[in-house]
Structure 1
């Protein structure tokens, strides 16, 4: 590390910043969308859709069986499997194969208004 130049240090700094920005992007996006929903007087969680997608099956209602040690294929999440059949998938037990739940905040407001 004796012969490191200023441009290499700057490159490492920019790379570290880009890595941190990439990791933080989903949280920043969720914060911005939540604040926009509240300014529009919508439900902060579902945006007045009244449904929340299941976290286990990601709203599809089907779960692919796990691979080695129960881990799924990481490339399968990045590349859409539109051309593969769903025969190898099993129904999600978390949501009852519906793919969504009712929004608890909207449901609570609905029951309180009645």
Structure 2
């Protein structure tokens, strides 16, 4: 697994902890939905009590699914980074609401 920049610093006091991550990917039944790995997190405002009801996936992903994930990950590792870790800022929007802005600095090798 490759931990992206900006994530590893969130871990602390784990010097003597060893883990084995054996997560299992569960997929929807064939032709049931357009599941897209990496798009399975929903940010939902606490102020909205009408939380959507979702059907949990139940079908274990086949070996071919994981093989494709490995292939895609290898391609990503060969691609030089385009941007640095973003700096996140909250600014006042035009309506007085706070707006989250991510500022990224382009990496020199990507601008050539």
TM range (shorter): under 0.3
TM-score (norm 1): 0.26
Normalized per residue, the structure richer in strand is: 2
Normalized per residue, the structure richer in helix is: 1
Q: Which protein, 1 or 2, shows the higher relative CO under an 8 Å CA cutoff with sep ≥ 6?
A: 1
